[in-house]
Amino acid sequence: MIRCIAIDDEPLALKQIRSYIEKTPFFELVAVCDSALQALELMQNKPVDLLFVDINMPDISGMDFVKSLNNPPKIIFTTALSEYAIEGFRVSAIDYLLKPISYSSFLEAANKAKEWFDNQEKRAMQIDGNDEFLFIKSEYKIIRINISDIKYIEGMREYVRIHMVSQSPVMSLTSMTKLEKFLPEKSFMRVHRSFIVNLNKITTIERNRIVFDSNVYIPVSDQYKAKFQDFLDKNFL
């Protein structure tokens, strides 16, 4: 799902974009905002993949707002004036929708966005011929993660959170199944629907739970218990 925010100071236009986002199956509406400043505040606490931004707004225009962002999401501009189209593409907007916007025009732009995100997902996670590192997309950036630094991975609906030894957790829009395929099987095991653990980082097991940092307890579910027990038996003194 592509997480979207719609920004427009015109209530009717905002209502229309909202309805279009909600009826598009691969979009998830995070919020609707009547100003860029309201959107900026929301974006500090919620991950967003795509912004629908009206260009002509009071206080700060949609164009200036996008230019002010250090790591902007992907952008689709909406406006009643065609004169901004060239400038919109200069800031790498996916598309430019001229009001009044029909759903067919909206869907065409939406499909462009989906194609872009699909291509990014294919490229974002890859192991460069070894078991040492991978690249993963997080917050509009592609980040290198050393595989040996991973402690465990937590599934959160369509996102995963990668917990590491030497840095803060990294969130990425992907699935546990896709990530599991990229990890070396000899070192990583799925022990629960929502958890993959680095077997090399396990130090304590307590009542069918793996303990990390004395305060993180990862359950071993019945579905994966036999495989995990086999790992323990092979390494038990």
Q: 201 is in which domain, residue-wise?
A: 133-234
- Kindly indicate the confidence band of residue 127, based on its pLDDT and cuts at 50, 70 and 90: very low
Quote the pTM value: 0.59
Maximum average pLDDT range among 56-60, 103-107, 134-138: 103-107
Q: Is 127 exposed, middle or buried (0-12, 13-18, 19+ CB in 10 A)?
A: middle
Q: Are residues 139 and 228 in the same domain?
A: yes
Mean pLDDT rounded to a whole number for the chain? 87
| Residue 128: predicted pLDDT | 45
Q: Is residue 128 in some structural domain?
A: no
**What is the C-alpha to C-alpha distance for residues 160 and 79, in angstroms, rounded to an integer?**
35
Q: Is residue 163 in some structural domain?
A: yes
| Residue 153: predicted pLDDT | 95
Could you tell me what percent of the chain has a pLDDT over 70?
91
Q: Which of 123, 152, 177 is the last residue of a domain?
A: 123
